[in-house]
Amino acid sequence: MTAQIIDGKAIAAAVRAEVRDAVAAWVADGGTQPGLATVLVGDDPASAVYVGGKQKASAEVGIAGFDHRLPHDAPHDEVERLIGELNTDPRVSGILLQLPTPPQVDGPALTELIDPAKDVDGLTPISAGLLAKGRPGLRPCTPSGVLELLRRHDVALEGAEAVVVGRSDLVGKPIAQMLLARNATVTMCHSRTRDLPAVCRRADVLVAAVGRARMVQGDWIKPGATVIDVGINRTEDGLVGDVDFEAAAERAARITPVPRGVGPMTIAMLLRNTLAAARASAATPA
């Protein structure tokens, strides 16, 4: 293997330590303690683990936790009322509605009701619009994590050919816009892209966010490229990414593994967003 491994676990730990120090300094300076409210409807075990992880990570960096759990038959209106209350609660800097929600609760519609100033997941239409227009705002966590990995490894983006495979609102689209904001020349690919291998071979920076185990082959990688694998796929061999890691690592200059690559960055960037939201709300007159 020739590629340098981009160690997302170590970088996420560094970001979390920085957020912890920044929260302590902010509170010592008289700032209001940042607070993260999570809303979980129902008892889906995977969602409960995610929410628990987010609350635990918040507590570790000094962010106050408001852990709201509603029964699986909670009516839509009740969740809507709760989000309304959290929107006006000054102790809450960030709100996160865990998706998916049970069928009677329209999760995507409720996400849109979150005050954009508290949208620490960066998924409301306002946040997406601010990103599309290149204006300041809260950015989605996994895409921010990808950009942070590139930044910490000094990957040159200005004028670079960046190819993003996947165009979801959650991952591919915001990553492409963030790379564009760093002056990369960005190509977005999807399931109808013609000759995907040839497009990928142009990439100085290749981001795979598809959800298909080891789809990106070694000979799709331009020698010396930086490869970021967002994919998380459960297979008989365990967790694998969207990139054939062993083969790609023979050609790439840098590559993220799965696990311990992009995955750990998501919660780290959520914590950073929550602190940023607390600071911004302090700067905004009520």
Residue ranges binding ligand NAP (CB under 6 A): 142, 165-168, 170-172, 189-193, 196, 209-212, 230-233, 262-263, 266
For residue 275, give the 3-state DSSP assignment: helix
Beta carbon nearer to ligand NAP, 64 or 141: 141
**In the chain, what is the straight-line distance between the N-terminal and C-terminal CA atoms, in Å?**
55
Rounded to whole angstroms, how far apart are CA atoms 166 and 97?
24
Alpha-carbon distances of 72 from 41, 42, 50, 80, 104, rounded to whole Å: 6, 3, 17, 15, 9
The answer to whether 10 and 258 are in contact (CB under 8 A) is no
CA atoms within 13 A on the CB side of 167: 8
Query: Taking the CB of residue 267, how many other CB atoms lie within 10 A of it?
Result: 20
Residues in the chain: 286
Residue whose structure tokens are 């709201």 = 68
- Which residue of this chain has its Cβ atom nearest to ligand NAP in the complex? 168
What minimum distance in Å lies between the beta carbon of 136 and ligand NAP?
23
- What residues are labeled active site? 54, 98, 121
Beta carbon nearer to ligand NAP, 9 or 20: 9
Beta carbon nearer to ligand NAP, 117 or 222: 222
Pairing of the two strands 4-5 and 35-41: unpaired
Instruction: Find the helix packing angle between 8-28 and 265-283, rounded to 10°.
Output: 20
Residue whose structure tokens are 């990369």 = 184
Check the CA dihedral 237-215-218-155 and report its sign.
Answer: negative
Rounded to whole angstroms, how far apart are CA atoms 42 and 71?
5
What minimum distance in Å lies between the beta carbon of 261 and ligand NAP?
8
Rounded to whole angstroms, how far apart are CA atoms 158 and 95?
34
